Structure 1
Amino acid sequence: MPRTAAEVHTDLVLEPRDVKFDWSRLPLHWIPDEPFATHTINVLHLLLPEGERWFTEVFKDALPLITDEQLREEVLGFIGQEAIHAEAHQEVLDHLLGQGLDPRPYVRQIAWLFQRILGPKPHLSPRQRRENIIERVAFVAAIEHFTAFLGNWALNSPGLERAKADPTMLDLLRWHGAEEVEHRSVAFDLLVHLDRGYGRRIRGMVLGGPLLVHLWVRGVRYLLAADPELRGRLKPSWRQAWDGAQRGMLPDPIQSLRSGLRYFKVRYHPTQEGSSAQALGYLATSPAARAAAAR
């Protein structure tokens, strides 16, 4: 008898996959003739290295607060996967720099945000430190909702093939997306373990959701302005974002908003987003993941 979706998810064992990608042949506009769509997705490479390193630090701080052994193992698996995600996207940033697009000024701002504004606060009492950790976990849970949404989109985006997107980049997006779907409930379950209150969960989304949109818009503007081939000739617009979504090259802004609103439901759980079976199916066929398993 086939296993149910809940059984597949419950039986998951999160393991880091030490993937490697060869970026030597990646063109600057890896979706041919689509610089706006290319750079809209490239914002991932700007945000994720620092963001996911911050995720891992938050979860390491939370480990002493966990009293459920299964959840502890899931958190450790999450930490391992996120660390590899950060390094994979960092390699793309290094490749962009080699192509004449310098991401470092924007990345320095992101590092300042995560390290100084959202980082741990010194001189807190034990009770205050615990509250600070849980508050940051709530922020991670909200952002992980969107990374799972984006991962599910990447796994179901034939428009990228139609646009002849670079296959190595497509594998990166789908490998990462599959792992985001695979571990989509860990941050939320950790938050509920530490604080079952609805208010903290919602505060994380109210703060995290708009901040993510703001950073993404700024990232697109930065990449288009810094692109040495465009030389500032292409200006971003919501019309271009909508057009890219209609052609399947970008996530649909309306669907993104609806996904965010689902987080506010009292009975929400991340398992309602995406399919663990589909994620595992892609990971079984991903060239990078298969090569990692063979090493």
Structure 2
Amino acid sequence: MINASNAALGTGEERMTVRNMPFEFLPRSQSWNTDKPEFAHIVNSASLAMPYLEPYLIKSMRKARPLIKDAALEAELDKYIKQEATHYRRHKEFNDTLSDKGYTTVAFLEQRLADDYAKLESKRSLKFNLAYAEGFESMALAIGEMLIEDREYLFGHSDSAVASLILWHFVEEIEHKNVAFDVFDHLYGSYFWRIVGLVYATSHIFWRTGQGYRALLKEDGLWKSTSSRWRLLKVLGRVLGNIAPKWLRILRPGYHPQSVKDPDWGIAWAAVFDTGTENMAQLDTRRLSEAVPAGEAQGVNS
């Protein structure tokens, strides 16, 4: 029996596992979350960034690697890169289904994101780009905690493959939560630049995500709907309200992501996957209190 309270993701290189998740994204309906189409488009818009954001992070980290003088950190960085490469490839597969469903703004939104990250890579210093990477990863840790804590409300009764994609991604964001911080601290150790990276990355990603979900909601004919706008405000209020205290703790001068406890559900999920379970890409969204599908849930206490 796997008990989440006794399990651990490990430390250093052992924390991270590169998982080949067998997602299959089927266009079963226009929205993968018919109960919360507004939240679905927030997620869709954020997903559009991943095939451009994560390669940018990888390139920044690869430029930093020859400067690192710590073998353990080098090993962590290599596994971080492998996890991120897997993430953006799976998100690209999912994003392509949005185009296949007829969302005509997807190509424009993707090109704008590609241009953003190409400019950051070519015009900004390595110090700035690593600060951005650290800012994004600290924010991703906060978002991952929020998604796991509120998973039943946000993903309940939604498309299993998409819910699994997002939760898988953020379980792994939590696994590699220390790497970008440690790389930036190892090379620069600047509190000022760490906060610059956090504020810039948060502002940039939230800005582009907002533009994206508005465009997608317009295509669905929901943007001018009063009831849809109210549902959007409610879900944004809930999401941002849950993230805010987690984001604010990053501002502390003594902050380190290692101090953030790994969520029990994420630990249980990782432990079951590591036994060889193949159904982790098909979470039962009717019972997300469990970390695995109904047929596999025996032996997991979440």
Which category of TM-score, normalised to the shorter sequence, fits these structures? 0.7 to 0.9
After TM superposition, give the deviation of residue 185 of structure 1 in Å. 1.1
1:236-247 matches, cutoff 5 A: 239-244=230-235
Kept after mapping to 2: 8 A contact 1:15/1:81 = yes
TM-score by length of 2: 0.81
After TM superposition, give the deviation of residue 101 of structure 1 in Å. 1.1
Query: Do the aligned partners of residues 215 and 237 (structure 1) sit closer, same or farther apart at CA in structure 2, a change above 3 Å counting?
Result: farther
The residue identity in structure 2 corresponding to 1:112 is D
SS at match of 1:184: coil
Kept after mapping to 2: 8 A contact 1:53/1:83 = yes
After TM superposition, give the deviation of residue 153 of structure 1 in Å. 2.1
Considering only aligned residues, what root-mean-square deviation do their CA atoms show, in Å? 2.9
After TM superposition, give the deviation of residue 105 of structure 1 in Å. 0.4
Q: Is 1:133 matched up with 2:126?
A: yes
Distance 2:229 2:199 in 1: 22
The residue identity in structure 1 corresponding to 2:88 is A
State which drifts further: 207-216 or 68-77: 207-216
The residue that corresponds to 2:297 in the other structure is none
Q: Percent identity?
A: 24
Q: Deviations over 1:144-173 (max 9, x none)?
A: 1111122222222211354x1111111111
Kept after mapping to 2: 8 A contact 1:137/1:187 = yes
The residue that corresponds to 1:125 in the other structure is none
Q: Deviations over 1:71-114 (max 9, x none)?
A: 00111101000011001110111111111113110110000000
State which drifts further: 131-140 or 231-240: 231-240
Query: Do the aligned partners of residues 286 and 28 (structure 1) sit closer, same or farther apart at CA in structure 2, a change above 3 Å counting?
Result: farther
SS at match of 2:21: coil
Query: Do the aligned partners of residues 7 and 78 (structure 1) sit closer, same or farther apart at CA in structure 2, a change above 3 Å counting?
Result: closer
Query: Do the aligned partners of residues 239 and 24 (structure 1) sit closer, same or farther apart at CA in structure 2, a change above 3 Å counting?
Result: closer
Kept after mapping to 2: 8 A contact 1:45/1:93 = yes
Distance 1:92 1:285 in 2: 24
Query: Do the aligned partners of residues 181 and 236 (structure 1) sit closer, same or farther apart at CA in structure 2, a change above 3 Å counting?
Result: farther
The residue identity in structure 2 corresponding to 1:95 is T
The residue that corresponds to 1:128 in the other structure is none
Distance 1:226 1:286 in 2: 37
Distance 2:6 2:210 in 1: 39
The residue that corresponds to 1:54 in the other structure is 56
Distance 2:73 2:257 in 1: 15
The residue that corresponds to 2:267 in the other structure is 280
How many pairs were matched up?
274
Kept after mapping to 1: 8 A contact 2:131/2:194 = yes
SS at match of 2:108: helix
Query: Do the aligned partners of residues 83 and 28 (structure 1) sit closer, same or farther apart at CA in structure 2, a change above 3 Å counting?
Result: same
Q: Is 1:31 matched up with 2:22?
A: no
Query: Do the aligned partners of residues 108 and 257 (structure 1) sit closer, same or farther apart at CA in structure 2, a change above 3 Å counting?
Result: same
Query: Do the aligned partners of residues 15 and 234 (structure 1) sit closer, same or farther apart at CA in structure 2, a change above 3 Å counting?
Result: same
Q: Where does structure 2 lack aligned partners over 5 or more consecutive residues?
A: 281-302
After TM superposition, give the deviation of residue 33 of structure 1 in Å. 3.8
The residue that corresponds to 1:172 in the other structure is 165
Query: Do the aligned partners of residues 198 and 275 (structure 1) sit closer, same or farther apart at CA in structure 2, a change above 3 Å counting?
Result: same
Which of 231, 240, 243 in structure 2 is aligned with 1:256? Answer: 243
SS at match of 1:142: helix
Q: Where does structure 1 lack aligned partners over 5 or more consecutive residues?
A: 122-130
Kept after mapping to 1: 8 A contact 2:20/2:86 = yes
Q: Deviations over 1:94-151 (max 9, x none)?
A: 11111111311011000000012x1134xxxxxxxxx921221111100111111222
Distance 2:139 2:226 in 1: 25
SS at match of 2:38: helix
